[in-house]
Amino acid sequence: MLQGFYPKEYLNSTYEIDFEGMYDRGYRGIIFDIDNTLVPHGAPADERAVALFVRLRKIGYQVIMISNNKEPRVKMFCDAVEAPYIYKAGKPNPRNYRAAMDRMGTNADNTLFVGDQIFTDVWGANRAGIYSILVKPIHPKEEIQIVLKRYLEWIVLFFYQRSVLKKGAGH
């Protein structure tokens, strides 16, 4: 029942993803969430984020941001990292994940999604058929509606981690 919420990978940080290895596996596009995935909620792009996008372009990736936030916040970040974006994306609706792939010229088979929330980011990516990577939030300070969702996410993560352990034990 909960499998639709499970990411394909769960990592500590966006900045530890093996993007070169994923490129070697055939991935060509990356859709990112911004807040608490790349920088703390509401923060501007920092040197680490800017360097990541320079690196991703050198590897050969197409990138785009999708955010449920309003345009001024999303534009500020995306201008700094020189990336296109879709704001007020309505995640987890898969419509804008598909629009993001259309804009990058990729498809569900060669696109990654990276985000920090299960019920918006991962669920939407999974519904669009995209390889989803969940990362731990960068900063614990969040809006109240996100804090409430985090409690439910802990339940999903508990069962996700049990299923990963079972799969590992079976090999």
Binned at pLDDT 50, 70 and 90, residue 144 comes out as low
Cβ 153 vs Cβ 122: under 8 Å: no
> What is the reported pLDDT for 143?
59
Domains of the chain from N-terminus onward: 3-169 (3.40.50.1000)
pLDDT digits (tens, 9 = 90+) for 55-109: 999 999 999 999 999 999 999 999 999 999 999 999 999 999 999 999 999 999 9
Which has more pLDDT, 25 or 167? Answer: 25
Helix 71-81 vs helix 47-59: angle between axes, to the nearest 10 degrees? Answer: 60
Average pLDDT on 138-162 reads 71
